């Protein structure tokens, strides 16, 4: 079993709580945008945001990966956005794990705030698509690592 580290370097076990999901099958671009939207939110507001994304009520602004992405009326300051449902469901599971870890450590869950959320590519699964005249085209599936760090405010 591999040993996975965290990208958050200022971790203090007395102050912070963290959780991660490793090698999940979601879009790395969408996961990056959803994590950027969650940083700085309290745990209850982050849950509400993800539930609204799943119900198509609020869109996630796409700041970096915005080519050929439709405009969303409810976004203030950003024109491009989407509703990444699969990523939102995975991050809801991750927030459940973060809450359980905070409860185990004895932190106050009502004061818990997300101070770091990251998504980065993991292992690539090599696939290929058959083409004409006996050729193939590579089609790689990129798995994603998600991690969240919270602290009491």
Domain containing residue 76: CATH number: 3.90.470.10
Helix, strand, coil % over all residues of the chain, rounded to 5:
35, 30, 35
**Residue 36 CB-half CA count within 13 A:** 14
Q: 99: part of which helix (H) or strand (E)?
A: helix 85-105
How confident is residue 146, by pLDDT bands cut at 50, 70 and 90? very high
How confident is residue 28, by pLDDT bands cut at 50, 70 and 90? very high
Return mean pLDDT, the chain: 93
44 is a domain residue? yes
5 is a domain residue? no
141 strand-pairing partners: 125
Q: Give the residue-averaged pLDDT of 17-30.
A: 95
Q: Give the residue-averaged pLDDT of 18-31.
A: 95
pLDDT tens readout for residues 52-92: 999 999 999 998 888 888 888 888 788 899 999 999 999 99
Residue 140: Cβ-neighbour burial (10 angstroms; 0-12, 13-18, 19+)? exposed
6 is a domain residue? no
82 is a domain residue? yes
Domain that holds residue 100: 16-152
pLDDT at 139 over 80: yes
- Residue 1: its pLDDT value, please? 64
Q: pTM, whole model, 2 decimals?
A: 0.90
pLDDT at 103 over 90: yes
pLDDT at 30 over 70: yes
139 is a domain residue? yes
103 is a domain residue? yes
- Residue 79: its pLDDT value, please? 86
1 is a domain residue? no
Q: Give the residue-averaged pLDDT of 124-137.
A: 96
4 is a domain residue? no
Q: Give the residue-averaged pLDDT of 130-137.
A: 96
| Number of structural domains found in the chain | 1
């Amino acid at each position: 079993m591999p040993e996975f580290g965290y990208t958050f370097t200022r971790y203090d076990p007395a102050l912070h709580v963290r959780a991660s999901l490793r090698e999940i099958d979601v879009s790395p671009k969408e996961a990056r945008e959803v994590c950027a939207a969650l940083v700085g939110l309290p745990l209850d507001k982050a849950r509400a945001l993800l539930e609204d994304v799943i119900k198509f009520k609020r869109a996630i602004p796409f700041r970096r990966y915005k080519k050929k992405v439709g405009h969303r009326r409810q976004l203030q300051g950003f024109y491009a956005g989407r509703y990444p449902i699969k990523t939102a469901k995975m991050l809801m599971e991750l927030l459940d794990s973060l809450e359980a870890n905070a409860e185990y450590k004895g932190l106050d869950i009502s004061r818990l705030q997300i101070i770091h959320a990251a998504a980065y590519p993991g292992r690539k699964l090599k696939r290929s698509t058959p083409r004409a005249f006996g050729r193939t085209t590579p089609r790689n599936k990129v798995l994603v690592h998600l991690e969240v760090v919270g602290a009491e405010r």
